[in-house]
Amino acid sequence: MKKKHLILTNGTVVTDSLIEQGTVVTIGDRIMYVGDQREGQRILKAADPNVFEIVDAQGGYIAPGLVDVHMHGSDGVELMDGTVEAMATMGRYLARHGTVAFLPSTVTAMKDKTRAVATLVADYSGAEDEAEVLGIHLEGPYINERYKGAQYGPAIRRADLDELAELHSILGDKLRLVTLAPEVPGSLQAIAWLKERGITVSIGHSDATYEQAMEGFATGITHATHTYNGMRGLHHREPGVLGAILATPDIWAELIADLVHVHPGAIRVMLRSVGADRIVLITDAVQATGLPDGEYVLGDQRIFVQDGAARLKEGNLAGSTLTLLQAVANMVREIGVSLPDAFRMASFNPAQSIGLADRGWIQEGNQADFVILTPGFEVQKTIIAGRIAYSAD
């Protein structure tokens, strides 16, 4: 049966402002119209039911589909499992929770294991009920031992252009994001190499001084990995990595908004300095996401989840069990940001931060990615590239 175009109606459209009783029309995988109730009624009356499927938001929200550029796993699996089944499980879980696209993230691992998961991602094409795999986020191994957090210490190494070249030969443009510490030997050369190839470089797990961080920014870093966490903090005589991020207007700054990794007061500081236009909400989700408290793994290490917080045996936080939709809800309900700003941080900003110009926002010409929510933020439908990938019905 030929796929129908969509008319999304009877909901509040979340875009630059809120359009109550709004209407969105998609043709194929593109958004063709965004408007209010008056024009929407005319469109509905004229629509051929053989051509268009009507999606009734039932008074809820028609919001941009969420984009997660930093997550490791969910629903009992993780990228480092290295299997097609793990990729499919993550993709289905994310689609059920309103995320339309994601970068599965590595953890610091030995070269052969990193190469194996790169090959998996390069060859992977998901099913229609899965969130889209945009590529890979290489988190480590070129990081600082002092701020390794839950990264695997024995596999930490200096930046290696030969290894990067091999991974790039496997992944091509699916090598989207690389987290490294600019003070690690070889990192500045790696940053320049990655920038030349259009790959986003992020500062993270770093003990850089303010000056070293700023040199990294000048060389090509445009992104910051889970801001506040895994980095030298702010001191008034040594602003460190955090100070450099807060002081630099054109850095995309990730934030884990589970209210465990970062105190609400620190989130407000970030909003005042970085602003909603540059914050990138992420989950840093691990395999325990969506599952009960208990013992799990993150790469080569055991993690323990209690009251939803994942930690190593030593007590270090080890990713989160957050969904991106929960992060949006936390920003709205606990921090007090507007709905457009919260969704911008979870959709538009992540897409822009890795160079996706036509994704992450409800505007004419963009890819038709949406999440349909009840007024209580429960997912009713997830729509990816104009197709319904998940429906609660």
Chain-centroid distance, C-alpha 233: 23
Structure tokens at 272: 């005042």
Per the CB < 8 A criterion, the answer to whether 284 and 251 are in contact is no
For the question of residue 284 being annotated catalytic, the response is yes
**Which one is catalytic: 284, 307, 341, 393?**
284
Active site residue ranges: 284
